[in-house]
């Protein structure tokens, strides 16, 4: 019996509750189950399978198609016109710790309504389907672990392709996450490839730029070198100029010294003249000193005279001012008196006018009363005309109000029309903008999106070609790898066989001696190599037992060896000491047909062992066959044939069956083993090389696949963007449609309002015509009234009222004027008194001033007499001074001539100094350009230097525009190149890491797959061996070196039959194989319960019982619910559920199978 060693926390279905589900009717029914092995039995069509459908439905383990329904609503019970409102299934679990929740009972329920909507619940709480599946997955219940095996699942298993079998193992191994990780990593790899490609373009561009800048740098260096030479020549030219200026400078210095001597002589002559001039100046000063006291006295008299004149003038001025002020005051007094007289006169006039106006007012008021009486009488007479006039005016007012009202409405309408026209304009503008956006969006969709899409599609196409090419190359390498491995394995098997043969043929005693005694070379057979295998038998026979002799260096070596053989009881050996053996080479080979050669010549050996080889073979000749020996002469030579007949010189012939003693074959074997080892090593290296190539190709494949995935992702993103753009386009089109509809509405409303406005304008015109008519009527009434004289009386009355009003205003004004004149009279009288008093005071001041002026005039006469006497003395002194001034002027003229000469000399000196300064500045500038140190005068002529300078200038000009920022730009570009290079290297490292990561994923995925496959395959072998005693079954990976590109082949060998593919077996054999695989899967990934529906249908009785026994064994650790038609299987169950159909409604009857009679 196959033992299931996997233990899991217990959980099982205690009952299934159905209501309105398929054949179980509308009423709520319980189907009790329980732990262990539960068999469900009943006739066909009773509804047995619907129990499994109910479990699958409630747990979400199957689709409506699998549940044999068109859609979920077809699961609702119906019979004729009767139909349940919904279908409900509850699956009750007993939780013994399997489910990660505390409740001991867990109820999964699902209800489906007639509209197809279904509701999942766990313990009465609504949940989503994924919540149910997540909880079930934790205890190993999924769609792919075959917890529920329905009738069609066995057929599905039988029809599985090798690829589908592999994918099934992948699902069970749970390596889907590796595929997700790999896909994500491949996308990242693809993105890196795209970035690397972009960076490579930038790096290539920068590399080209660096080449250009390198050339620019060289040009700049050449420019700098030429500039340096140019500066050097310029320095030489400057040095030549410096020395030329220096010579001129020295000559001018001599000229300057001569001028300075002349200036010195001029200076002395000037000094003598200055002395004479100084004497004359002294005499002049003496005259001036005599003149000074007279001048001071004259100045004093003059000052006194001026002071007295000024004082007299001031007093005269004051007198004049006083007289003027007095005159002005008198004028002011006269003015004020006249003003007072005028004021008094005006006051009298105002009082007279006021009296006159008051007298005039009284008769006007009386006349006004008379006109009022006359007006009343006339109005009474014209009442009818006035009434018509009033009515006309009233109607006119009403019409004008109506006109105003309609004009207001018209204005509102016109404003609304303006607003509508504005809205229309705005809407048209908005529509224009929207259509512009639509156009841009269309251009984007048709242009940018199309270009981008084509770009990525082109990249995908290119990469798919590359991928297919690499895939094809990978297939070629796999085929080569397979061939190399097969060849290596074949050679390895041959090598193992040969090594085994060699191990059997090797002499242990000889090997012992070789390890322990120096000078032991080995047996003769070991020391020779037969060139061709066809000579092997002949050489072995010719050598005979001597081939086992051991070759040693000398007799001492042989002695030590014999001692060791005795000591260790290793037997006897014949030794050939090289130093003692005597042997000569045969010299003549008979020329007879069939003679091949001397035997010793047909073997290879070290020349050191030649004597030993000659000792063994001597002059033995190899002939082709017996007849050749006869032709040569039997007994004449020692001969051996290719087949091993031996002819001795004595005439004896030895022949017959040759036993394979492997004496010489050891050497041949060793040689072949060495060859095989070399071939195997070569093939191993070839295999390693192919594997490396394969790894590189896989990396290339990953890169291509990654780029394809990345490009596809970008394409999807682009398609999403395009979808969004199309959605935006749709919305824009909707907005445009709404806008156009709104514009249509606005234009319609505008038209209506225009029509209203036009109607209003017509009504206003009619009103105006009516106003004109009424106004005409009014004019007639007015005419009647005007002709009656009423208006004349009213005019006269209004004139009187106006005149009376004017008189009243004038009276009030005159009264105010009278008050003002009275105040002015009082003010003028006060001012006149003040001015009369001031005039008296000014008269007294005038008399005092006249007396002072007379006194000052007497003093002035005395001062003028003294002034005259002093002036005569001054005239005499001035005459002498003029004579002295003439002498002084003559001396000054002579001095001026000397000074002019001196100035000329000074100018000449200054000119020389300026020229010297210029030369010195030029020399200093040249010296500065030479670095502050004068160079020796160059030997080259200036013309030659200038010619060289011109040549350099031409070369500089030939360089063209020199990039003076070449070094800087080179540095910048190189920095960018380095940065981008580092980015490239970083991306390369990331790419390498990603490739390694993908490789690790592949390895891990493969490792987990192999572990899962091996475990399931082991289970499969054991279970099939139990179900089919004497039979064998196993699965084999189709492509071991590339597991995921191939599938899994299933091989089955029923007892007494050849190994078959699953497809070539009978129905029962297929079922056993499929069940074995299902049980293998279940044993690997166990779950709390299993449901089998008639899985024994195609089995014979014996095999059905075996399957039942296997289920019985497995039910000790998990619940098995089995629908069966076989009594032999049902009797093995722990509990039976009978199902029958009554009136089209399924009923269940649980009972104990142990109480049934078999």
| DSSP characters over 862-873 | HHHHHHHHHHHH
Per-residue model confidence (pLDDT) at position 778:
65
User: How much of the chain, in percent, has pLDDT values that exceed 90?
Assistant: 7
pLDDT for 259 beyond 80: no
pLDDT for 577 beyond 90: yes
Distance CA 665, CA 268 (A): 144
In this predicted model, which residue has the larger pLDDT, 1140 or 671? 1140
Copy the structure tokens of residue 493: 């098997």
Per-residue model confidence (pLDDT) at position 916:
74
Residue 1043 CB coordination number (10 Å): 20
CA-based nearest residue to 910, from 189, 98, 918: 918
Residue written as tokens 């006035």? 386
pLDDT for 1060 beyond 70: no
Where do the domains of the chain lie, and which CATH numbers do they carry? 1-147+1089-1158 (3.40.50.300), 529-660 (3.30.70.1620)
Distance CA 285, CA 275 (A): 15
The alpha carbon of residue 651 and the mean position of all alpha carbons in its chain are separated, in whole angstroms, by 102
- Residue 48 known to bind ligand: yes
- Residue 1112 known to bind ligand: no
pLDDT for 167 beyond 80: yes
Distance CA 15, CA 91 (A): 6
- Residue 200 known to bind ligand: no
pLDDT for 1049 beyond 60: yes
Per-residue model confidence (pLDDT) at position 93:
94
- Residue 1150 known to bind ligand: no
In this predicted model, which residue has the larger pLDDT, 366 or 208? 208
Residue 823 CB coordination number (10 Å): 9
pLDDT for 1058 beyond 70: no
User: Looking at the DSSP assignment, which residues form a beta bridge with residue 127?
Assistant: 120
User: Looking at the DSSP assignment, which residues form a beta bridge with residue 105?
Assistant: 94
Distance CA 191, CA 136 (A): 38
pLDDT for 1155 beyond 80: no
Mean per-residue pLDDT, 653-680:
70
pLDDT per residue over 383-393, tens digit each? 565 666 667 76
pLDDT for 122 beyond 90: yes
403 falls in which pLDDT band (50, 70, 90)? confident
pLDDT for 1 beyond 50: no
pLDDT per residue over 266-318, tens digit each? 778 778 877 877 887 787 777 777 767 766 776 676 677 677 777 777 777 77
- Residue 123 known to bind ligand: no
pLDDT for 813 beyond 70: yes
Per-residue model confidence (pLDDT) at position 622:
92
User: Mean pLDDT in the chain?
Assistant: 79
Residue written as tokens 């079954």? 1033
pLDDT per residue over 963-1015, tens digit each? 778 778 888 888 888 888 888 888 888 878 877 887 888 888 888 888 989 99
Mean per-residue pLDDT, 442-466:
75
Per-residue model confidence (pLDDT) at position 506:
44
Contacts 24+ apart (CB under 8 A), 614-620: 614/583, 614/584, 614/585, 615/546, 615/576, 615/581, 615/582, 615/583, 616/524, 616/543, 616/546, 616/547, 616/549, 617/539, 617/542, 617/543, 618/583, 618/586, 619/586, 620/542
- Residue 1154 known to bind ligand: no
Per-residue model confidence (pLDDT) at position 212:
83
15 falls in which pLDDT band (50, 70, 90)? very high
Least confidently predicted of 636-645, 966-975, 1002-1011, 1149-1158: 1149-1158
Mean per-residue pLDDT, 158-185:
79
Under DSSP, is residue 413 helix (H, G, I), strand (E, B) or coil? Answer: helix
Buried b (16+ CB within 10 A) or exposed e, 306-327: eebeebbeebeebbeebeeebe
pLDDT for 664 beyond 60: no
- Residue 49 known to bind ligand: yes
Query: Rounded to 5, what percent of the chain is helix, strand, coil?
Result: 70, 10, 20
pLDDT for 788 beyond 70: no
Task: Starting at the earlier edge strand, list the strands of the sheet with 520-523.
Answer: 520-523, 550-552, 575-577
- Residue 47 known to bind ligand: yes
Mean per-residue pLDDT, 564-573:
83
Torsion, Cα 965 971 972 975, to 10 degrees, reads 170
Per-residue model confidence (pLDDT) at position 18:
93
505 falls in which pLDDT band (50, 70, 90)? very low
User: Looking at the DSSP assignment, which residues form a beta bridge with residue 904?
Assistant: none
pLDDT per residue over 37-87, tens digit each? 999 998 888 888 889 889 988 998 865 445 655 567 778 888 777 888 899
Mean per-residue pLDDT, 708-736:
80
Distance CA 515, CA 509 (A): 10
797 falls in which pLDDT band (50, 70, 90)? low
Per-residue model confidence (pLDDT) at position 850:
74
> Burial level of 1023, CB count in 10 A (0-12/13-18/19+)?
buried
With beta carbons less than 8 A apart as the criterion, state whether 91 and 58 touch: yes
Q: What is the pTM of this model?
A: 0.48
Residue 1096 CB coordination number (10 Å): 26
Per-residue model confidence (pLDDT) at position 108:
95
């Amino acid at each position: 019996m196959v033992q299931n060693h996997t233990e899991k926390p217990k959980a099982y279905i205690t009952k299934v509750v159905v209501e309105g589900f398929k054949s179980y009717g509308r009423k709520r029914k319980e189907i009790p189950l329980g732990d262990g092995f539960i068999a469900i039995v009943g006739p066909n069509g009773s509804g047995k399978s619907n129990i499994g459908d109910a479990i699958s439905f409630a747990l979400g383990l199957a689709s409506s198609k699998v549940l044999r329904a068109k859609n979920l609503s077809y699961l609702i019970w119906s019979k004729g016109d009767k139909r349940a409102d919904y279908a409900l299934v509850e699956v009750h679990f007993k939780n013994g710790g399997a489910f990660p929740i505390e409740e001991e009972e867990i109820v999964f329920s699902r209800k489906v309504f007639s509209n197809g909507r279904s509701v999942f619940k766990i313990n009465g709480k609504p949940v989503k389907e994924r919540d149910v599946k997540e909880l079930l997955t934790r205890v190993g219940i999924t769609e792919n672990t075959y917890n529920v095996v329905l009738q069609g699942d066995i057929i599905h298993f039988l029809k599985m392709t090798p690829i589908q079998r592999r994918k099934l193992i992948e699902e069970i191994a749970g390596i889907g996450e590796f595929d997700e990780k790999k896909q994500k990593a491949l996308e990242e790899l693809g993105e890196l490839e795209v970035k690397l490609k972009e960076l490579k373009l930038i790096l290539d561009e920068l590399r080209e730029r660096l080449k250009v800048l390198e050339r620019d740098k060289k040009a700049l260096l050449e420019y700098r070198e030429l500039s340096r030479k140019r500066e050097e020549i310029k320095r030489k030219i400057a040095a030549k100029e410096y020395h030329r200026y220096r010579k001129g400078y020295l000559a001018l210095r001599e000229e300057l010294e001569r001028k300075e001597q002349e200036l010195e002589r001029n200076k002395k002559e000037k000094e003598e003249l200055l002395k004479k001039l100084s004497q004359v100046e002294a005499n002049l000063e003496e005259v001036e000193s005599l003149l000074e006291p007279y001048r001071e006295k004259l100045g004093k008299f003059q000052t006194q005279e001026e002071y007295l004149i000024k004082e007299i003038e001031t007093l005269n001025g004051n007198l004049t001012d006083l007289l003027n002020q007095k005159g002005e005051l008198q004028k002011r007094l006269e003015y004020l008196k006249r003003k007072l007289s005028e004021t008094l006169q005006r006051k009298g006039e105002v009082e007279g006018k006021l009296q006159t106006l008051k007298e005039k007012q009284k008769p006007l008021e009386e006349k006004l009363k008379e006109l009022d009486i006359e007006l009343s009488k006339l109005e009474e007479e014209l009442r009818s005309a006035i009434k018509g006039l009033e009515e006309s005016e009233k109607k006119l007012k009403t019409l004008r109000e109506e006109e105003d009202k309609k004009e207001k409405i018209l204005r509102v309408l016109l404003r609304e029309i303006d607003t509508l026209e504005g809205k229309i304009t705005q809407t048209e503008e908005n529509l224009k903008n929207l259509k512009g956006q639509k156009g841009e969006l269309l251009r984007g969709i048709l242009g940018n999106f199309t270009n981008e899409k084509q770009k990525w599609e082109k990249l995908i196409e290119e990469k798919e070609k590359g991928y297919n090419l690499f895939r094809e190359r990978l297939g070629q390498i796999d085929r080569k790898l397979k061939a190399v491995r097969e060849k290596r394995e074949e050679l390895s098997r041959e090598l193992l066989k040969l090594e085994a043969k060699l191990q059997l043929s090797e002499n242990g005693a000889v090997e012992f001696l070789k390890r322990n005694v120096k000078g032991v070379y080995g047996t003769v057979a070991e020391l020779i190599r037969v060139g061709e295998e066809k000579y092997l038998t002949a050489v072995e026979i010719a050598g005979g037992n001597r081939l086992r002799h051991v070759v040693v260096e000398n007799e001492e070596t042989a002695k030590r060896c014999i001692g060791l053989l005795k000591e260790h009881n290793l037997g006897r050996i014949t030794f050939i000491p090289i130093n003692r053996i005597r042997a000569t080479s045969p010299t003549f080979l008979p020329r007879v047909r069939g003679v091949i050669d001397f035997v010793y010549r047909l073997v290879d050996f070290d020349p050191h062992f030649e004597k030993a080889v000659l000792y063994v073979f001597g002059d033995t000749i190899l002939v082709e066959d017996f007849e050749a020996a006869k032709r040569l002469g039997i007994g004449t030579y020692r001969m051996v044939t290719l087949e091993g007949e031996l002819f001795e010189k004595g005439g004896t012939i030895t022949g017959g069956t040759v036993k394979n003693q492997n004496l010489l074959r050891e050497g041949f074997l060793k040689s072949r083993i060495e060859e095989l080892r070399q071939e195997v090593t070569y093939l191993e290296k070839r295999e390693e090389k192919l594997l490396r190539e394969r790894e590189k190709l896989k990396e290339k494949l990953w890169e291509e696949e990654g780029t394809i995935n990345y490009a596809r992702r970008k394409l999807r993103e682009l398609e999403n963007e395009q979808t969004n753009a199309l959605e935006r386009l749709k919305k824009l089109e909707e907005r445009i449609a709404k806008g156009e509809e709104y514009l249509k509405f606005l234009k319609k409303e505008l038209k209506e309002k225009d029509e209203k406005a036009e109607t209003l304008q017509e009504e206003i015109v009619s009103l105006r015509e009516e106003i004109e008519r009424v106004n005409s009527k009014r004019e007639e009434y007015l005419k009647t009234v005007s002709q009656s004289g009423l208006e004349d009386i009213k005019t006269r009355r209004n004139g009187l009222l106006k005149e009376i009003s004017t008189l009243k205003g004038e009276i009030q004004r005159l009264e105010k004027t009278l008050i003002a004149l009275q105040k002015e009279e009082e003010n003028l009288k006060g001012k006149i008194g003040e001015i009369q008093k001031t005039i008296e005071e000014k008269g007294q001041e005038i008399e005092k001033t006249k007396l002072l002026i007379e006194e000052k005039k007497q003093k002035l006469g005395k001062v003028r007499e003294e002034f005259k006497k002093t002036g005569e003395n001054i005239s005499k002194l001035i005459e002498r001074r003029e004579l002295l001034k003439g002498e002084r002027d003559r001396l000054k003229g002579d001095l001026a001539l000397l000074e002019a000469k001196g100035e000329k000399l000074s100018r000449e000196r200054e000119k020389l100094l300026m020229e010297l300064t210029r030369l010195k500045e030029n020399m200093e500038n040249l010296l500065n350009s030479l670095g502050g140190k004068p160079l020796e005068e160059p030997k080259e002529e200036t013309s030659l230097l200038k010619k060289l300078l011109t040549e350099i200038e031409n070369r500089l000009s030939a360089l063209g525009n020199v990039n003076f920022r070449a070094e800087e730009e080179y540095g910048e570009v190189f920095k960018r190149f380095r940065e981008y290079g580092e980015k490239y290297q970083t991306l390369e490292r990331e790419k390498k890491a990603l490739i390694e990561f993908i490789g690790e994923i592949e390895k891990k995925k493969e490792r987990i797959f192999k572990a899962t496959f091996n475990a399931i395959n082991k289970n499969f072998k054991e279970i099939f061996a139990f179900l089919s005693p004497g039979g064998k079954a196993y699965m084999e990976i189709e492509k071991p070196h590339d597991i995921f590109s191939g599938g899994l082949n299933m091989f089955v060998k029923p007892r007494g039959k050849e190994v078959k593919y699953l497809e070539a077996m009978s129905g029962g054999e297929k079922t056993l194989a499929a069940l074995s695989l299902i049980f293998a899967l279940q044993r690997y990934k166990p779950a709390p319960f299993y449901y089998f529906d008639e899985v024994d249908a195609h089995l014979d009785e014996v095999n059905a019982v075996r399957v039942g026994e296997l289920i019985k064994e497995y039910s000790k650790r998990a619940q098995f619910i089995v629908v069966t038609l076989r009594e032999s299987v049902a009797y093995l169950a722990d509990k039976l559920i009978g199902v029958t159909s009554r009136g089209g409604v399924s009923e269940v009857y649980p009972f104990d199978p142990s109480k049934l009679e078999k």
